[in-house]
Structure 1
Amino acid sequence: MDEERLQRSAVVANNAMNRERGLDGVNSYARDLGFHPLDRLEPPLSGQDGAAWLDLCCGRGRALAQAAGQRRDGLTLVGVDLVGHFDPAAASAPNLTLVTGSITTWRPDRTFDLITCVHGLHYVGDKLGVLARALTWLSPGGTFAGHLDLNSIRLLDGGPATRLVRRLLREAGIGYDARRRLVTCTGPRELDLPLAFAGADDQAGPNYTGQPAVDSYYRPTRTGTRAEPAPSPRRAVTVDDTGVRVDHGTWVAEAAWADLAGATVSRFVVEVADVDHLELTVDLVYGHHLSVADDADGFAEAVAELARRWGRPAPDLAALAPGDGHVDVWRRG
């Protein structure tokens, strides 16, 4: 069957593999993955940009809710599950976004420092396609870890594809722990496998977990299909009654009006590096600053709003030259 029919299968919709699994303990992510997710997030969390964890097939979202409950500054959490029967504690957890949808079609608008899929691929038709897409969502140095039973991947004639897929993963620099049935990868990767998804069988019976699972069938091709490229971080700047907010996609900085010392706009040009853009710089009273380039959503509107609140006309951004230096658009007092 195809992916759409498969998602209506009782085996997929009612599976109990990851419904109640927590962050640590006996029935936990830490035990099944062989590492604690928050340990992998510690290095980026210690930096100024923070860290983000995406959990595919997150079940009720208990592990994410428990991570959110630790209230780590700079930690962003996202969970995706087809069923969407989320734990109430997860639905109300801070910095946690829960999405009801299929991981075969869902697409994020950012990259992640950790992506997990704990026993979720067992119930997906195009397992290799999902893996290929997810690997492009990793940030530099980010970790992917997900369970994949290679015995559930078959060629169109029914023959096993275990040795073939294992060799292809190894050649692509992707790790596979046969004991844990765990695929791991560090850093974003374009996984271009010469296999095309042909359909799935939800009547394959129990896999190594003892639970009914789905077998996936592939047709060998001369060339594979590359996954969609990693999403570019969304950049945006807004100015409102609360102050200035700069969204760099992987992190967000906010400054209240009481913290603002001034704001300037300038044209930044480096000819040898083919750089030519406008830049808005917001100076803060405690010595730091925020800056954002003109490719950010709302750039011109933010400059105009700052000038309006200062009671001055907004500068003509199209006419701004490098020699104009930093042009004031807002100044305290």
Structure 2
Amino acid sequence: MSAPDPTGTSQLPLLVVIDPAARLWDGESVRIARDVLSARAPGVKVCLPETPEEAERALVRRGSRRPVVVGDDRALLRAVRLLHRERELDDVALSVVPVGAAERVRLACGLGVPPDAVSAARTVLDGAPRRLGLLTDDSGGVVLGDLRIPGRPAERGGPGPGGRGSPGGERARGEKAGDRAGQGAPVVQALSGLPGLSRTRRSLSRSVRAVRVGRGVRGDVPVPPQRLRVEADGVLLADLDEPVMEVSVQPGAGAHAGLAQVTVRPREDRSGPVRVRARAVTVSGPDFHYRADALVGGPVRVRTWTALARAWSLVLPVGRPR
């Protein structure tokens, strides 16, 4: 990671935008973050939007205030996308206080933000902005951490924890399915002692096994190989006649800033993965979905991602490497 960027942002007043999903998920952490920021940063303005659109309007009208997002990865990504769309991303030092389920703040924490509300709020005040790379696509989207193709359409859905189609919802349904499987096991065992019920016993056993392996849970259904054409800086890595299991792209850092790490995994019965670094990656083929950080996009038939070095600033603890 690059060295801290001394822009004097600590002297700017704060605009704290608290995502509505964060207030629902963990109101206590939200209150703690708000108290820490208000106690040490005079003139803090707190915004409590009810919708993502209201949050975007607050960020657009922030004036000279430094934006602080209290919420999960989706709230962070919405703020970054907005600043990118407004052509302000290069000039703003963004702060985030992660509030949400562990799997829903993985991106922010992976970038170096402390996971607990107190430490994250203190980082807003005492940390330093660091310049990071990202990926942009030809539709105006951004990727801060990880891009994967294919992305399951079953993962699409509302941003609320446990919402239909959300990763949290799939996990919750999987846990419930596992509970049902555990409850069904004694029934199968009881039937095993009764004569003349072998057919029923076998049927119930198959049903329990199906639930255990997630056959009825969309989030656990394996994704089949896809026919994709993958080009990195004009070099062909995969073509439509060779199905691939996965394509992943990540922004480069350090000595590789401005270059994306591209990995193409062919079918399991083929050779190992192909790894290259490139400034631009184009993927095309039949309709495909992709997962960009916490969001699922598509279906599309062609999309190009471009790596940018030092494209945005995130306030992180001083001296903490990425």
Give the shorter-chain TM-score range.
Answer: under 0.3
Q: TM-score, normalised by structure 1?
A: 0.21
By percentage of residues, which structure has more helix?
A: 2
Q: TM-score, normalised by structure 2?
A: 0.21
